[in-house]
């Protein structure tokens, strides 16, 4: 309700309570590789995550819908979006991914939130000194 | 809120590797870790029980835990691979140097003994082979009453798909009989890249058959209770007697008196 078209009328207050307002969960993940000079682009990364889903949950799991929203090739940091229902599946397959092209690797899940805005800051990495 | 603990980092003689492991654990947010010495007695050859190395010698400067401005706490732990009942001697002097004591039984009889009789803190569940026996309710309940916890480690699940299958199968079998209580999840990591963050493990617990709350307890409050259980075993039935020296730095003198 906009205030502009309510000329002369007293201001109205509306209280809206939303439960599970966001259908998605957003994850900020960072890939750590044993050999730090290895480069992989966004397509490789998505392919790698799908292969992880495939090895843990099979073809049905590999069909899980998720999106790679933003990816930084230098720091190997990516933002993923997934329907809340598939969060546990995606997260556990990321956790159990142990090797990329025969070298050891690990996904560090930095932040998980149902709102993308929440991923802009991180209270744990605040530098107070 | 309880802090996160990872009570199984595999010991290696290479101290720089161990140092990197502890640093990674601190970076991921674990407040307490235990370095695990594995003792595997065999019938043919007489082996010595490993002696724990002092943490100060191993890691000169303890790293600061992420999120809290305090150094990580490092414990020593011994795991006895038990394939015969004579392998675990209840009153061995060698056990005294360790903060935590664990056994890994390989037969049903030994599992029963470990749950009901042995003075241990942790019972390890094998994750690299098919479960050699089924978990009966009676010993599991007995262990729960005594405050002994069961441990499932996940590093084997990262290495290859066969062991991942065994890990999931054995842990779901365990969760059925203990209903998610008194279970801890730990890493058994040998390299820093085999460690995962505490929230990742909470999520992984769902895969192992735990519920949401139990899964978080498995990396936090259950671990805390097992460390407290070990401390009460270390002293005479939980009576703690300390002497305060005004100038001397505190040194640990108590051992296991079982």
The domain limits of chain A are 24-120
At B113, the pLDDT band (50, 70, 90 cuts) reads confident
Global ipTM: 0.80
Tokens standing for residue B60: 């000169």
- Provide the mean pLDDT of chain B: 80
Output the pLDDT for position A128: 52
Q: Which domains are delineated in chain B?
A: 5-235 (3.20.20.140)
- Interface touch A55/B207, C-beta < 8 Å: no
Output the pLDDT for position B181: 83
Residue in A96, A105, A112 nearest the CB of B164: A96
Tokens standing for residue B16: 């720089």
Contacting residues of A for B206, CB less than 8 Å apart? 88, 92
Least reliable range by pLDDT among A83-87, B133-137, B218-222: B133-137
**CA–CA distance from A69 to each of A81, A128, B32, B85, B257 (Å)?**
7, 30, 35, 57, 58
Residue A76: pLDDT over 70: yes
- Say which residues have a Cβ less than 8 Å from residue A12's Cβ, sequence separation at least 6: A1, A6
Residue A3: pLDDT over 60: no
Q: In whole angstroms, what is the distance from residue B223 CA to residue B45 CA?
A: 34
CB-CB contact of B113 with B123 (8 Å): no
Least reliable range by pLDDT among A36-45, B83-92, B213-222: B83-92
Tokens standing for residue A13: 């207050």
Q: Which of A89, A94, A118, A115 is nearest to A105 (CA)?
A: A94
- Interface touch B28/A106, C-beta < 8 Å: no
- Give bridge partners of residue A108 from the DSSP assignment: A30
Output the pLDDT for position B248: 61
Residue in B159, B191, B196 nearest the CB of A95: B196
Least reliable range by pLDDT among A53-57, B205-209, B234-238: B234-238
At B251, the pLDDT band (50, 70, 90 cuts) reads low
Q: If you measure CA to CA, which chain A residue comes closest to B191?
A: A104
DSSP-derived secondary structure for A7-20: TTSPPP------SS
Least reliable range by pLDDT among A27-31, B4-8, B18-22, B215-219: B4-8
Interface test with A, best of B29, B207, B208, B219 (most A CBs within 10 A): B207
Model pTM? 0.80
Fold of A24-120: Alpha-Beta Plaits (3.30.70)
- Give bridge partners of residue A26 from the DSSP assignment: A81, A113
- Across the range A97-115, mean pLDDT stands at 85
Output the pLDDT for position A15: 92
Q: Which of B128, B82, B88, B134 is nearest to B108 (CA)?
A: B134
Q: In whole angstroms, what is the distance from residue A125 CA to residue B145 CA?
A: 41
Contacting residues of B for A95, CB less than 8 Å apart? 196, 200-201, 203-204
B185 in contact with A, Cβ within 8 Å: no
CB-CB contact of B169 with B17 (8 Å): no
Give all strands (DSSP E) within B73-201, no chain letters.
73-82, 100-105, 122-124, 149-153, 183-186
The chain A residues in contact with chain B (CB within 8 A) are 32, 34, 55-56, 88, 91-92, 94-98, 104-106, 108-109, 112, 124
DSSP class of residue B16?
A: H
């Amino acid at each position: 309700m906009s205030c502009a078209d309510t000329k002369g009328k007293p201001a109205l207050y509306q209280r809206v309570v939303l439960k599970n307002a966001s259908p998605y969960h957003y994850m900020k993940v960072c890939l750590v590789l044993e050999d730090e000079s290895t480069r992989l682009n966004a397509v490789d990364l998505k392919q790698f995550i799908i292969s992880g889903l495939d090895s843990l949950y099979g073809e049905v799991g590999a069909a899980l819908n998720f999106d790679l929203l933003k990816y930084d090739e230098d720091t190997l940091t990516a933002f993923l979006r997934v329907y809340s229902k598939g969060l546990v599946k995606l997260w556990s397959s990321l956790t159990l991914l142990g090797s990329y092209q025969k070298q050891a690797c690990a996904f560090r899940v930095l932040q998980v939130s149902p709102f993308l805005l929440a991923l802009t800051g991180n209270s744990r990495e605040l530098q107070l000194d | 809120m309880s802090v996160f603990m990872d009570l199984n980092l595999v010991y290696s003689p290479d101290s720089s590797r161990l140092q990197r492991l502890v640093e990674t654990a601190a970076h991921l947010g674990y407040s307490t870790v235990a370095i695990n010495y594995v003792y595997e007695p065999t019938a043919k050859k007489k082996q010595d029980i490993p002696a724990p190395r002092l943490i100060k010698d191993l890691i000169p400067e303890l790293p600061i835990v992420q999120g809290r401005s305090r150094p990580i706490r490092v414990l020593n732990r011994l795991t006895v691979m038990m394939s015969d009942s004579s392998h675990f001697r209840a009153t061995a002097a060698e056990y005294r140097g360790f903060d935590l004591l664990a056994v890994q039984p390989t037969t049903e009889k030994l599992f029963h003994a470990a749950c009901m009789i042995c003075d241990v803190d942790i019972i390890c569940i094998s994750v690299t082979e098919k479960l050699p026996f089924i978990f009966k309710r009676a010993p599991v309940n007995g262990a729960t009453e005594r405050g002994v916890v069961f441990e499932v480690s996940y590093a084997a699940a990262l290495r290859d798909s066969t062991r991942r299958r065994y890990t999931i199968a054995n842990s779901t079998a365990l969760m059925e009989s203990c209903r998610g209580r008194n279970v801890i999840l730990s890493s058994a990591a040998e390299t820093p890249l085999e460690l995962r963050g505490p929230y990742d493990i909470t999520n992984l617990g769902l895969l192992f058959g735990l519920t949401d709350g139990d899964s978080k307890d498995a990396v936090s409050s259950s671990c805390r209770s097992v460390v407290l259980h070990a401390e009460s075993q270390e002293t005479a039935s939980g009576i703690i007697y300390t002497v305060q020296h005004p100038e001397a730095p505190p040194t640990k003198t108590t051992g296991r008196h079982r």
